[in-house]
Amino acid sequence: MIASVLHGITSWTVLALPLSAACSSPTAAPDTDSVPPVFAINGAELLRIRARLNAGDTQLGPALAVLLEDADRAAAQAPVAVTQKATLLPPSGDPHDYFSLSPYWWPDPSKPDGLPYIRRDGETNPESKRDLDQPRVAQLGANVQTLALAYFYTGQERYAEAAARQLRTWFLDPATRMNPHLRYAQLVRGIDQERGSGIIDTRWFIEVVDAVGLIARSTAWSAADHSALQQWFRAYLTWLTSSPNGEHERAAVNNHGSWFAAQSASFALFVGDRELARTIVAGVQERIGAQIQPDGSQPAELARTRSMHYSNFNVEALSRLAEMGRHVDVDLWHYQAPGGGSIARAVDRLAPYVQNQAAWPGPQIDPVQPDLLLLTLRRTSSALGPSPLWARAIAELPFALRQRDRSTLLYLEPATP
């Protein structure tokens, strides 16, 4: 197996051979010339990367090794389930209902019981990470993407099997499946109301939809599995687009609204509702104009205590929507609003501060993870072509990060003229 070969070496000479030759399994990467049915990432780009791996491109070797190490760990883990809550249940009392607490809300020190909680923007209350579903859904999304990519690049069925097992556990098995709604997401203690803002928790389902596309050719994922998962997402999409919670989030003027659009468009594409997906993606043009200024700044995100993080976070959502636009003939990548805002200008605004975060013209109470910025830069460069500004920002990041980061296996960087 590729993983066992790579774990025992420190150089990358093994990848001088075609990928299939480096793998002891007779199964080669599946359907070499078939673009995978993915939406928030570029399937044709993944196909080109796989071709380079099969041709022995050693520059991609370090990132592949990290991916396979991560995939081996993910495959060894027991699947996570929404029903694993041991001490905390949602107000419904049903463990199948997703339940999380809003991360930036803390006990009020002026009240004996701390209730109602008060907001401290950007400061995560550890309580929100204990025996609740937000860490589980993040693990779900990260693991299925890792496993599906490992399968796509190696053809090893064990990775697809582990991904399929996790998907069935969270969405399909009657004993563990999640009910398709988020009525109890990001609740606040002492405030007795549902909150639409909790819908952002399931942005990880975008990874789920694309992971399904990556393992679609595997024997581990059946037509019945696929049909059942589409049925689940139809029900969830109906709740998103018809509930007061969903309407609240759709109308959000900051990254929450962008991520709502990214989720609902992704799920619409997955269930085959291309008309709805096109309507959502086309509507993002207005959002770009409202959110991004001509100089690339994003006022709604600059108002946050982690303004650089959230500026990038919003660009990530808009960029995923731009990738989805390829499937519905809406070009968000090249769109420039009448006022001058665009995705490219938002990335231009971020790029000079990648290695000089202290100079960022806004509050940022903790460092932004460089890998998040690298993904944004590589995705935008891949879609829009070379930019000296973006290339310089990438080059300023540590070499080991650039070489080993997952984004290396998602987007090829164009040569800078």
Average pLDDT, the chain: 92
Residue pLDDT, tens place only, 207-265: 999 999 999 999 999 999 999 999 999 999 999 999 999 999 999 999 999 999 999 99
DSSP lists the bridge partners of residue 306 as 364
Contacts of 21 (CB under 8 A, 6+ apart): none
Residue pLDDT, tens place only, 284-293: 999 999 999 9
Strand, coil or helix: what is 123? coil
Longest dimension (CA), the chain: 67
Provide the residue range defining the domain that includes 271.
Answer: 2-83+141-173+203-409
Range with the poorest average pLDDT among 24-33, 108-117, 381-390? 24-33
Region for 57 from its dihedrals, namely left if φ exceeds 0, alpha if ψ lies in -120 to 50, beta otherwise:
beta
180 within some domain: no
Residue 171's Cα: distance from chain center in Å?
Answer: 18
User: Residue 12 above 80 pLDDT?
Assistant: no
The candidate with the shortest Cα–Cα distance to 183, out of 100, 88, 267, is 100
CA angle 14, 20, 21 (to 5 degrees): 50
- How many structural domains compose the chain? 1
Q: What is the pLDDT confidence band of residue 135, given thresholds at 50, 70 and 90?
A: very high
Q: Identify whether the C-beta of residue 254 lies closer than 8 Å to the C-beta of residue 301.
A: yes
184 within some domain: no
The CA–CA distances, whole Å, from 293 to 150, 257, 326, 378 equal 39, 17, 24, 22
The Cα–Cα gap between 40 and 327 comes to 10
The Cα–Cα gap between 267 and 261 comes to 10
More confident residue, 11 or 243: 243
- Stated as kind and residue range, the H or E segment containing 413 is none
Residue 364: per-residue pLDDT: 97
Query: What single-letter DSSP state applies at residue 106?
Result: E
Q: Identify whether the C-beta of residue 116 lies closer than 8 Å to the C-beta of residue 108.
A: yes
Q: Which pTM value belongs to this model?
A: 0.92
User: Tokens 């007795």 correspond to what residue?
Assistant: 192
The Cα–Cα gap between 77 and 146 comes to 13
289 within some domain: yes
Strand, coil or helix: what is 179? coil
Q: Identify whether the C-beta of residue 170 lies closer than 8 Å to the C-beta of residue 75.
A: no
User: Residue 16 above 90 pLDDT?
Assistant: no
DSSP lists the bridge partners of residue 364 as 306
322 within some domain: yes
For position 334, which CATH number holds?
Answer: 1.50.10.100
The Cα–Cα gap between 342 and 379 comes to 15
The Cα–Cα gap between 268 and 12 comes to 41
Q: What is the pLDDT confidence band of residue 416, given thresholds at 50, 70 and 90?
A: low
309 within some domain: yes
124 within some domain: no
295 within some domain: yes
350 within some domain: yes
Report the interhelical angle of 274-291 vs 255-271 (nearest 10°): 160
